[in-house]
Structure 1
Amino acid sequence: MKNISKIAILGGGGKTGNYLVNHLLNEGFQLKILLRNPEKFNIQNNNIEIIEGDALHFESIKILLKDCQAVLSTIGQRKDEPLVANQTTENVLKAMKEYGIDRYVLLAGLNIDTPFDKKSSKTLMATDWMKSNFPLIQEDRQKAYTLLEKSDVNWTQVRVPFIEFTDNSSEVVVNVEDCLGDKISAVDISKFVAREMIESKYKRQSPFISNL
């Protein structure tokens, strides 16, 4: 894998994204962050380049990914807005191919299904709740996973339970078949994503992570 020094960030303006951005800056990376509303972003650092645009627009993604060696996404679905997961994934994969970028790590919920899952009754309950209450969002996210599977890039889709927005860090358990815990701290998500970006232990897999 190419050495990673500059990273394209999607979702950096969100709560989880803020934790990830701060962690990556502390690790010494240069960041390009796509924001629809840059004026609302309050992290200032010389290693940040802000790109104003929308992940649903391919040209914005193309500008974002230029000169980067990896793409990280914590982007989520906003209420009453166009579906974002499938279109964003399509745009990212297309731009990655154009630029020869190989590494893509993104967050997803427990509700994504893969052929390798052996979900417990608790995880299945959470999955079924999402399917029943937000069927369009669920379908959109599942389509995004299908795009990843069909691509030839080195992706890792990190599935997480309830996120606690805290700096408290504790032991993280990783499992490719089921989610073994009920929650995960945003700081532990950030550490795992940054490490996985480099190490690729879960290449083309969708591991669950949670705190014990």
Structure 2
Amino acid sequence: MRILVLGATGRVGSHIVSLALQDKHHITALVRNPNKIKIGHENLHIFQGNVMEKQDIENVMANVDIVISALNTDGTNTLTKSMPLILDAMEKVNVKRIITVGTAGILQSRLSPSILRYQSSETKRKTTFAAEEHQKVYELLKQSECDWTIVCPTYLPDGEYTGIYRIERDFLPEGEGEISVADTAAFAYQQIQSKEYLKSRVGIAY
């Protein structure tokens, strides 16, 4: 499979790249700084560019089957500026499947199911900027023709892969605590072979 990974130098994205290369997929990575990618592999194709530049996105979308975005906000509007460009480029070359890594804040509140977690008393966030950015991406994906899945982890410490965690559509599993970067990446990566959570948000936690 030919996979475009966005956010490939980040904590989750770098794990996804490693997992996909182990399975001998062909990976395209669009990165601002190629020196941040520490993996060398004949199936890894690195392109220097910016996800907020239309031409850069179109250039890397030309020969892929699926998109995995592990982009985060970095305190900026990277997510909301890049997603329309990503979706337009996908449509031009008829790429249908996109998996993104979001945040548990955009899942439904269990206490008040008509609103999102970050809008409710369930959140412990001091700022809602990142959640608002992820919500805008969620709305863009819902309006698109894509087969999308948003993986929504709770607190994300570094940690080992366990393969043992709970998942729930639209909600964060009850008694949530945390989920490691490695397990989040593994679950997101597994969605390339699954249709179970098409057009869905998925909460993930230990």
Fold shared per TM-score above 0.5 = yes
Counterpart secondary structure, 2:102 = strand
Query: CA-atom RMSD, angstroms?
Result: 1.8
Gap regions ≥5 residues in structure 1:
none
1:97 aligns to what? 91
2:42 aligns to what? 46
1:27 aligned to 2:23? yes
Gap regions ≥5 residues in structure 2:
none
Query: Which of 121, 124, 140 does residue 147 from structure 1 map onto?
Result: 140
Query: Which of 183, 196, 200 does residue 195 from structure 2 map onto?
Result: 200
Is residue 103–residue 131 contact of structure 2 (8 Å, CA) maintained in 1? Answer: no
Change (3 A) 1:119 1:58: farther
Is residue 170–residue 203 contact of structure 2 (8 Å, CA) maintained in 1? Answer: yes
Per-residue CA deviation, residues 49-85 of structure 1 (Å, 9 max, x unaligned), is 0011111111111112111000001111114xx4111
Aligned partner letter, 1:97 = E
Aligned partner letter, 2:135 = Q
Is residue 57–residue 85 contact of structure 2 (8 Å, CA) maintained in 1? Answer: yes
How far has the Cα of 1:145 moved from its partner? 1.1
Aligned partner letter, 1:119 = R
What is the TM-score with the length of structure 2 in the denominator?
0.89
Counterpart-to-counterpart distance in 2, 1:88 and 1:200: 25
Is residue 16–residue 165 contact of structure 1 (8 Å, CA) maintained in 2? Answer: no
Alignment of 1:1-212 (within 5 A): 5-79=1-75, 82-113=76-107, 117-120=108-111, 124-125=120-121, 127=123, 129-130=124-125, 133-135=127-129, 137-180=130-173, 181-211=176-206
Counterpart-to-counterpart distance in 2, 1:140 and 1:166: 26
Counterpart-to-counterpart distance in 1, 2:36 and 2:132: 30
Is residue 170–residue 200 contact of structure 2 (8 Å, CA) maintained in 1? Answer: no
How far has the Cα of 1:87 moved from its partner? 1.6
How far has the Cα of 1:22 moved from its partner? 0.7
Is residue 65–residue 95 contact of structure 1 (8 Å, CA) maintained in 2? Answer: yes
Counterpart-to-counterpart distance in 2, 1:69 and 1:33: 13
How far has the Cα of 1:48 moved from its partner? 0.4
Per-residue CA deviation, residues 106-130 of structure 1 (Å, 9 max, x unaligned), is 00011115xxx24258x54454x44
Larger CA deviation: 100-109 vs 196-205 = 196-205
What is the TM-score with the length of structure 1 in the denominator?
0.86
Counterpart-to-counterpart distance in 2, 1:196 and 1:138: 22
Counterpart-to-counterpart distance in 2, 1:118 and 1:161: 13
What is the number of residues matched between the two proteins?
198
Change (3 A) 1:168 1:192: closer
Counterpart-to-counterpart distance in 2, 1:163 and 1:200: 25
Stretches (4+) displaced over 6 A: none
Larger CA deviation: 42-51 vs 164-173 = 164-173
